A and B are shown apart, each in its own frame.
Chain A
Amino acid sequence: MLYYSLKRLGLAVAIVSVAMLLLFTMIYLIPGDPAAVALGPRATEAMREALRIKMGLDQPVWIQFWNFFVNAWQGDLGNEVLSDRPVAKVVMEQLPATLALIAGGMVWSVALGIPLGCWTAVKRGGMADRIVGVFSVAVIAVPSFVVAIYALLIFAVTLRWLPAIGAGEPGDLGDQLVHLILPSLAVGIGWVGYIARLVRASMLEVLEASHIRTARAFGLPDRQVTYRYALTIAILPTVTLLGVGIGQMLSSAVFAEIVFARPGVGKLVYDAILTRNYPLVTGAVLVTTVLFILINLIADLVVGYLDPRVRSRL
């Protein structure tokens, strides 16, 4: 397990480095002079030149990349244009809200998707199976911002059960959780569908396996066979899918944060693009990328923990 973990970790570091290179290339290739953009049309040439030197834009490109690379690994993503505060600090301030939103979305999708998938596999072909099937396809097909808007209209505006906007009082955990319910539902509901379908399919496959027949022939109770012997195997593709799905959840988090007027990285990037605050955009994208890779790393480690075959193969 240690060897497997180290290997995965090394791979993650390599991927982050490549992501940095790509991101740097992208900024470099964007037409226009960053200094000019940052300072606006009324700045003098001398001011632009000074900023260029401060930003290191007069250096050869590989030195620029090297500086960016070294600084980024040390957590220094430069300063943002508007207030000149460190980008890393600004992004980190917003990160917890987004993390909470995504974690909430995951809780929804796992807490509903896995039992639904498992249940429909055990009762395959029945009425419940068909209803859940239609429901799954429906929630997969509907974009999350539509869910967000409808959830807002129904539960917040019409029924007034839940708050409509904001992230809740800072320091008041209960209030923050209540504010999290609707946005995280909007982020996670599509994944309920994916996970229910995936768990159902892999559960059906595993239930046909000969070791399940053996377990039954040894007289193990049905519940143990279903949950301990079958589900632990059927869950593996879902863990991997969730790791990848985090990318999509991050992008639906942008919508949810705007619709529900929540603070967060998505809202931050949105505002930064509108104000052409490029260092902030770059920094936020880099942080999200690292987050994505980190969560995939965790998913890989969880799969390795659950499946001894994976552990010993790699």
Chain B
Amino acid sequence: MNVLEIQDLNVTFATEGGPLHALRNVSFDVPEHRIVGVVGESGCGKSTLINAILGLLADNGQVDSGRILFGDHDLTRLGPLEMQSLRGLRISTVFQDPMGALNPVISVGRQMLHIQYRSDLGRSEKNARSVKMLRRVRIPDPESALDRYPHEFSGGMKQRIAIAMALMMEPALLIADEPTTALDATLEVATIELLQDLQAQIGCSVLFISHHLGVIAELCDDVVVMYAGEVVERGTTRELFHDPRHPYTERLLRCDPAGQSGRTRHLPTIPGEVPDLRVRPAGCIFAARCHRYEGICDTVPPEVGAGGHRARCHRVTP
């Protein structure tokens, strides 16, 4: 069973220089109880993907085609109110910036109370539930934490509070957009372990976005590699790290001096630049930077088949 299925998703932003094709034919699944990592350079469309799932694309963005299946719903077809009723309840999110993720003028307890507005519990039961969640993310003295304001907590604690809020309603899917990028290495490890524990306890699936290959290798069951708005390769973590098929993935892994040990914080640099997404090349999007380039790459766009370990490359016979 898949909690989330993304099928041929295309998203464009209207910009002054014409439409910007931020996601092109993106397909992958998030199976039940699994953690799926999405990795890719800055600007490859990771946040756009999340916003499309949540129905929170910027005003100038739009889903052109494709489906996002979540349970019985196609999220691309739901109205704003129906989307709102899923958010925070069935699909929840932790964002990158722990410093700014909580409202500065509302106490932590009150914000946690607000999130539970759809529950039938009484006020004191809701507060008890908040305390329980805070304890689960290891906030010291959770009772008094309810009366405090976000600026009274450290960055790591704020991120853990944000995680507690996201898991408050025990969602089926937790989306985490680079939740550890802003934290230092020790906190990063602690947060990853915490997420792993909570995922096991609650039994939800996780869509985990990261720059950081080491974290992905550590945490995720499956990996989706994105480049310039396309999924270039997907497979289980094991398959991907031991048998990378797409030249882009190959380069990522090879350039990473620490291998899979998890010590690099950012993706290694690959010569060349990400193409301008307003003018997509006729052929393969990675052709200009590819070390295994051949004639066909300039003219025919490679496709990626369904299921299993797949790469979007002419050199890989499906």
A and B found bound together: yes
- How many A-B pairs fall under 8 Å by CB? 78
- Asked whether, in the complex, the Cβ of B101 is within 8 Å of the Cβ of A218, the reply is no
Residues of A within 8 A of B97 (CB): 210
Task: Kindly state the separation between the CA atoms of A213 and B92 in the bound complex, as whole angstroms.
Answer: 12
Most buried by B among A213, A214, A224, A308: A214
Stretch at the interface among A182-190, A228-236, A242-250, A252-260: A228-236
Residues of A within 8 A of B121 (CB): none
B252 at the binding interface (Cβ < 8 Å): no
CB distance from A94 to the nearest CB of B (A): 39
- Asked whether, in the complex, the Cβ of A309 is within 8 Å of the Cβ of B149, the reply is yes
**A211 contact from B87, B88, B103, Cβ within 8 A:** B103
A217 at the binding interface (Cβ < 8 Å): yes
Residues of B within 8 A of A211 (CB): 100-104
Residues of B within 8 A of A224 (CB): 114
Residues of A within 8 A of B87 (CB): 216-219
Given contacts A309-B151, A312-B151, contact A218 B166 (CB under 8 A): yes
Task: Kindly state the separation between the CA atoms of A309 and B96 in the bound complex, as whole angstroms.
Answer: 22
Most buried by B among A216, A218, A224, A312: A218
CB distance from B154 to the nearest CB of A (A): 15
- Asked whether, in the complex, the Cβ of B92 is within 8 Å of the Cβ of A218, the reply is yes
Most buried by A among B101, B115, B165: B101
User: Interface SS of chain A: helix, strand, loop or mixed?
Assistant: helix
CB distance from A121 to the nearest CB of B (A): 13
Q: Which residue of A lies closest to B85 (CB)?
A: A219
Most buried by B among A210, A216, A219, A222: A219
Contact with A along B69-105 (1 / 0, CB 8 A): 0000000000010001111110011011100111111
Interface size of A in residues (CB-CB distance below 8 Å)? 23
Q: Which residue of A lies closest to B107 (CB)?
A: A308
Task: Kindly state the separation between the CA atoms of A270 and B114 in the bound complex, as whole angstroms.
Answer: 54
Residues of B within 8 A of A220 (CB): 88, 114-115, 117
Residues 99-136 (chain B) with a chain A CB within 8 angstroms: 100-107, 114-115, 117-118
A306 at the binding interface (Cβ < 8 Å): yes
Residues of B within 8 A of A219 (CB): 84-89, 115, 118
Most buried by B among A215, A217, A228, A312: A217
Q: Which residues of B contact A (CB under 8 A)?
A: 54, 56, 80, 84-89, 92-93, 95-97, 100-107, 114-115, 117-118, 149, 151-152, 162, 165-166
> Top 10 closest A-B pairs, CB basis?
A219-B88, A219-B87, A218-B88, A217-B93, A308-B149, A210-B100, A211-B103, A210-B97, A214-B101, A218-B115
